[in-house]
Amino acid sequence: MFVFGTAEDVFTMAIRIEENGNAFYTGAASHAQDPKVKKLFGELALMEEGHIKDFKSLRSQLSGSFLSEAVWDPEGLAESYLQASADTHVFTVEAAKSRLEKGMTAAQILDVAIQFEKDSVVFFLGMKELLPDPKDKGEIDQLIKAEMDHIRMLSAVAKTLAVC
């Protein structure tokens, strides 16, 4: 059964999300005035680069052209879910640049980044459900945990700004 195109399609979307995150954090780091915020955004940009490499590696290891023939999805809901999730992701590179150019405060940029990371977790959870190989699911779990760490890191810095 055809669920969502090819595994390559899904991993390509995941890579694009991480590339957008990298672009956002790189831009945010260059706009940040607060040294701890600038440092955090720089670190997150590097982490997103690592995620891009991880997804490219996972994509190259997939042998089948379809995600899973065992998934029963006669209405194509899985495909619709992942497509909607990717389409409504918090930002694209263009949206990220636009938001940064509007003179957002560090707190506002952190809020956008936190929402981006939450949306990434939701997308990757949906992606994981479509993968047939438990090993691949374990790899995605590691990336989900990394995105959750990003949320914690961003939230911790956001709290310090709120206290100041």
2 located within any domain: no
Number of structural domains in the chain: 1
Give the pTM. 0.76
CA 4 to chain CA mean position, Å: 19
Q: What is the pLDDT along the chain (164 residues), one digit of tens a residue?
A: 334 455 666 777 788 888 888 988 998 898 888 899 999 999 999 999 999 998 888 778 765 544 445 455 667 666 666 666 666 665 566 766 676 767 788 888 898 889 888 988 888 888 787 776 777 778 788 889 999 999 999 999 999 987 65
133 located within any domain: yes
116 located within any domain: yes
- Cβ proximity of 38 and 32 under 8 Å: yes
Alpha helices in 32-105 (DSSP H): 35-61, 77-87, 93-101
60 located within any domain: yes
Question: 3-state DSSP call for residue 66?
Answer: strand
69 located within any domain: yes
Q: What's the CATH code of the domain at 61? A: 1.20.1260.10
Q: Domain range spanning residue 82?
A: 7-163
142 located within any domain: yes
1 located within any domain: no
Which residue in this structure is represented by tokens 């190259």?
60
Distance CA 91, CA 87 (A): 9
Distance CA 114, CA 96 (A): 13
24 located within any domain: yes
